[in-house]
Structure 1
Amino acid sequence: MDTRTDTPSTALQPTLDRLRAAWQARKPDYAQRRGDLLRLRAALKRRLDAMARTIADDFGHRSLDESRIADGMATLNEIDHLLKHLRRWMKPRRAAVGWRFWPARAQVRPVPLGVVGVIAPWNYPVNLALIPLATAIAAGNHVFLKPSEHTPRTSAFLRELLAEVFPADRVAVALGGAEVGAAFAALPFDHLLFTGSTAVGRKVMAAAAPHLTPLTLELGGKSPVLLCDDYPVEKAAARIATGKWFNCGQTCIAPDYVLVPAGKRDALVAALRREVQARYGDAFDNHADYTRIVNEGQYARLQGYLDDASQRGLAVVTLAGHADPAQRLLPPTLVLEPGDDARIMQDEIFGPLLPIRSYATLDDAIACINARERPLALYPFSRERATIEHILHATVAGGVSVNDTLFHNAITSLPFGGVGASGMGAYHSQTGFDAMSKLLPVLWQARNTGGDLLKPPYSKAKWLIDLIVR
């Protein structure tokens, strides 16, 4: 990040004040919300190719098509879903009062909160900035966005894009590094959504605590694949490969380790090797669709996992190509049978490295998953419905794709969020709309009601009390 373009920390509170004052003066109605979403969609659609090139520049190299899919299509798809359902979501929702309170009636009204803060990460820098922003706009809020300093060109792209779409008192963007991010998280927002690591999420939560700022925390963790004995290894390998090596594994819900029946481990390794060869060949340094590690710090961290595995005598299997630190190129690599003490099994990997551990029984595999903090995603592979139901009953995760990876995140009607160390709260679709609204309960009392009789001396209303407490 060019520090000359950073937002001064002293400017953050005045910006928030300006956004809040404008919101208070004119709370967005349906027409404004819809118009904002339509302009945002059109502006992003015009810039999809420029967006992909900009993200690639930040990564050193990133698959243009993966950016168009994950940052372009996913964002446009979510905006389309918001537009389709917005009018219905905004309407008051009837709520039953029960016979004891007749003839009163009740409703729940989704009302905007005010100003929503969004702290976005670097791995999908457009998707994870604009989907929360669009959801907050749909809910009738103004937005203050802090994109990642690790993708500075994309952050500047977002600031330019949003300046074209929104007035400065409706959406603002703060640029800067850790110091600006810490000050941003400490602002008294009406809601704050953070996407990033669990370690930073704890700091964000602590910063928000003095203001009791409501939070949505989208974190990470070690998302397991549980391959059952009945599922075909070749098909599982293809779907694991897609989930793991899309964006070079720099995905919060990428498979983080695989649990495989002991007798099928070697077959899975061979199948994964074939998948990598079929997708990328050996020419990794020139392949358009294999993304680089975003920066030198992340590359060194990942290389440290491999060094630790080698020092422990673990089998480290490079599936194709070779590493090139000069361009932050790290090929798909397996680590076989790491113990819990191995560094690669202690932290979220967030890269193209994949530990594989064999198990003797399904209950052993489930116990391995449950011994860890609850993951952001779980990927069980089995053709037996009873087996899948057993796994779902025995585990807790932020989300699940059965017999696949990643795709539950792309379904607009499903909420997305973690549990425990992998997150707090959820968004996407109406879940996100409701999270960024106050669901205001309203009771409409009737002209005449039995409640008027419930006052001392209660002996006069004994017949009514006896009726309602029966």
Structure 2
Amino acid sequence: MTTSFQNSPNDLQAISARQKLFFNKGLTRDVHYRILHLKRLKDVLLRYEEEICDALHRDFRKPAYETELSEFLIVLLELKSLIKNCKSWAKPRYVLPSLVNFPSLSKIYKEPFGNVLIIAPWNYPFQLVMAPLMSAIAAGNTAVVKPSELTPNTASVLEKIITEVFEPGYVDVVQGDAGVAKALLNLKWDYLFFTGSSRVGKIVYEAAAKHLTPVTLELGGKNPCIVDETAPLELTAKRIVWGKIVNAGQTCIAPDYLLVSENSKDQLLAALKTELQRALGPAPKESPDYARIINQSNFERLKGLIEDQQVVYGGDADASENYLAPTILDMGVLDPNIPLSELPEVLQQEIFGPILPVLSYKTHQDIQDWIEKYDKPLAVYLFSKNKALKNKVLNELSFGGGVINDVVSQFLNPRLPFGGVGKSGLGAYHGRHSFDTFSHQKSIVYKATWLDLNIRYAPYSKKLKFLKRFKKYF
């Protein structure tokens, strides 16, 4: 079932009501019912594999290899894990009982929240719909999915897949623009899952607060990448370039800017240029391995960020196809004393594109002072063999997650929770963490009746001394 903004808000209200009715039937509480639909989803996805790749290419020239690696394969592996583990993850879990409840047993029950709303972004329009949806289903919920209107071809394929696998009321797709999203947020949901910008995340959080709805917010931020003088520069450049040009830099965990030891800056800049030439050739515009900026608005924003800056590589642009070449900017030496508001715009806002500002630093303390100018980032990357610097970054900086001597690869391990902190996000998911995200953990104590200790009952006057002595066993 699909609706769009051409339909009245009453249609959205009707979809929400149908979801509640479906959930209340209790079908999704049966783990076998969930697994049946997850298996059906896997079969349908495999049939639509080529169409998914084609849709992403039509939306913003995303290379088929990137679609397979960063969208389809990630979804397929996670789906197989959910099918394999759903039954065991859904089982009640025994925990050690409390001594004060003796004699008793304690269990945690995994209970679906109910009706889930998933609002997805445009940058990974297939993966960031399917990953949370699959987990919501595995945990026993029903769901309404709102794909991005900026990737209409992918949204259309998603609709076909979901309609083929799930009956109306179990999972519904709602197509439309920001007005549709706003109308959906005005309705009452049992859980909200949003991926997108921090600006819109605030709107989602405010809407959820009206109904005290639990949320997961997967947002973003300015992710620093630190390179010190001990890093192997050729390998470092190769890994940074890959993380920055995938999806034309339109990745929430891409390195946003580089902080490079002043002793290594010139050599690293040379290595980055060499690697870009190797990866995309002398004319990146002609490369089949390089995506485009999603729309003209984002293209113009990105183009404006490099105006009046020292471009040391790239900078070429073509508005007719929203093409912006991978671009390296030399931003000089960082000065932690300059207020954030006085920095160039490219150092103030999250870039979300193929632009890489490079700053040099003098001391490790300069790094910390600079990063702490910003809100807590979603990711931090460090290329170094220096144990003291590694410990400083890991123990003294707050961020969502990161990698030592690589970029982006923290996302590829489903056993690691993925999420931000502060303005970079709220909550985490992936693998079992996703199942738990979409499950209410209901705590139950089974109290025995064969023994009833009198210590807790009134009158208390003769029991206080005993209780004080007993405290050391708690």
TM range (shorter): over 0.9
Residue matched to 1:322: 316
TM-score of the two chains, using structure 1 as the length reference: 0.94
Question: Structure 2: which amino acid aligns with 1:332?
Answer: P
Farther off after superposition, 169-178 or 91-100: 91-100
Partner of 1:84: 84
Q: Which moved more, 1:237-246 or 1:274-283?
A: 274-283
Match of 1:191 in 2: 191
1:306 is aligned to 306
The residue number in structure 1 matching 2:337 is: none
The one-letter code of the counterpart of 2:52 is: M
Is this contact kept in 2: 1:240–1:255, CA < 8 A? Answer: yes
Distance 1:387 1:42 in 2: 47
Are residues 269 and 296 of structure 1, via their aligned partners in 2, closer, same or farther at CA, if it must alter by over 3 Å?
same
Aligned residue in 1 for 2:375: 373
Q: For residues 33-79 of structure 1, give each alpha carbon's deviation from its aligned partner in whole angstroms, at most 9, with x where no partner exists.
A: 111111112211221111011111111x2211111111101111111
What code does the residue aligned with 2:326 have? P
**Tell me, what secondary structure is at the counterpart of 2:379?**
coil
Q: List runs of 5+ in structure 1 lacking aligned partners.
A: none
In structure 2, C-alpha distance between the alignment counterparts of 1:5 and 1:49, rounded to whole Å: 29
The match for 2:37 is: 36
The residue type paired with residue 100 of structure 2 is: R
Counterpart of 2:317 in 1: which secondary structure? coil
Counting aligned pairs with the same residue, the percent is 38
| 1:47-446 alignment runs, 5 A limit | 47-59=48-60, 61-307=61-307, 310=308, 314-319=309-314, 322-337=316-331, 340=340, 341-446=343-448
Contact 2:3 2:173 in 1 (8 A): no
Moved over 4 A (4+): 2-7, 459-464
Give the deviation of 1:250 after TM superposition: 0.5
Q: How many residues align?
A: 462
Deviations 1:276-315 (A, max 9, x none): 11011123332111101111001000011012xx1xxx31
How far apart are residue 363 of structure 1 and its match?
1.8
8 Å Cα contact 2:4-2:175 kept in structure 1: no
Any gaps of 5 or more consecutive residues in structure 2? 335-339
Query: Helix, strand or coil for the counterpart of 1:121?
Result: coil
RMSD across aligned positions (CA) = 1.9
Q: Retained in 2: the 8 A contact 1:6–1:175?
A: no
List per-residue Cα deviations over 1:154-211 (Å, max 9, x = no partner). 1111111100010111000111001101111222111100000001111111122111
**CA distance in structure 1 between the partners assigned to 2:100 and 2:363 by the alignment:** 54
Report the 3-state secondary structure (helix = DSSP H, G, I; strand = E; otherwise coil) of the residue aligned with 1:263. Answer: coil
The verdict on how the C-alpha distance between 1:395 and 1:466 changes in structure 2, with shifts beyond 3 A counting, is: closer
Q: Give the deviation of 1:220 after TM superposition.
A: 0.5
Q: Report if aligned partners of 2:144, 2:173 keep a CA contact under 8 Å in 1.
A: yes
TM-aligned CA deviation for residue 4 of structure 1: 7.1
Q: Distance in 1 between matches of 2:299 and 2:144?
A: 31
Q: 1:7 to 1:287 in 2, by over 3 A?
A: farther
Alpha-carbon distance, 1:460 to partner: 6.3
Partner SS state of residue 136, structure 1: helix
CA contact (8 A) 2:364 2:389 kept: no
Q: Distance in 1 between matches of 2:384 and 2:451?
A: 58
Residues 378, 397 of structure 1: 8 Å contact kept:
yes
- Contact 2:27–2:33 (Cα < 8 Å) also in 1: no
Relative to the length of structure 2, the TM-score reads: 0.94
Secondary structure of 1:17's counterpart equals: helix
